[in-house]
Amino acid sequence: MCRCALSRLLARLGADAARQVDTSLLLSANIYGLGEIISSSGFRRDPNSSIGTNWAPDAADPVDQNEYGVHPFWLDHRQSPSSTSDEGWKSHGVFLASAAGADYLLRPGVMEWRLLRGPVELYVFAGPTAGQVLRQYSAVVGKAAMPPYWALGFHLCRWGYTTVNETRAQVTAMAMREADIPLEAMWNDIDL
Prediction pTM value = 0.73
156 shares its domain with 137: no
Q: Please check whether residues 131 and 37 belong to one and the same domain.
A: yes
* Average pLDDT, integer, range 145-173: 81
Residues 93-124 have pLDDT tens digits of 999 888 888 888 988 988 888 888 778 888 99
Q: How far is CA 89 from CA 94, 137, 155, in A?
A: 17, 19, 36
Indicate whether 48 and 86 sit together in one domain. yes
% of the chain exceeding 90 in pLDDT: 15
Same structural domain, 154 and 137: no
Q: Widest CA span of the chain, in angstroms?
A: 69
Residues 180 and 134 in one domain: no
108 and 28 in one domain?
Answer: yes
User: Does 49 share its domain with 25?
Assistant: yes
Kindly report the average pLDDT of the chain as a whole number.
Answer: 79
Distances (CA, A) of 41 to 38, 75, 123, 155, 186: 9, 16, 26, 28, 32
- What pLDDT score was predicted for residue 191? 65
Same domain, 125 and 176: no
Instruction: Note whether 10 and 98 are same-domain residues.
Output: yes
Task: State pLDDT tens for residues 117-152.
Answer: 778 888 999 989 999 999 999 999 999 899 888 788
* Helix (H), strand (E), coil (C) string for 6-32: EEECCHHHHHHCCEEEEEECCCCCCEE
The domain total for the chain is 2
Statement to judge: residues 102 and 184 lie in one domain: no
Residues 68, 21 share a domain: yes
Same-domain check for residues 45 and 98: yes
Range of the domain at 157: 149-188
Distance CA 155, CA 164 (A): 16
**pLDDT given for residue 9 in this prediction:** 39
74-108 b/e (C-beta count within 10 Å ≥ 16 → b): bbbbbeeeeeeeeeebbbbbbbbebebebebebee
pLDDT at 13: 39
Residue among 79, 51, 78, 81 at smallest CA distance from 63: 51
Asked if residues 140 and 170 have their Cβ atoms less than 8 Å apart, the reply is no
Q: Are strands 31-33 and 155-158 parallel, antiparallel or unpaired?
A: unpaired
Of 55-69, 83-97, 134-148, highest mean pLDDT: 134-148
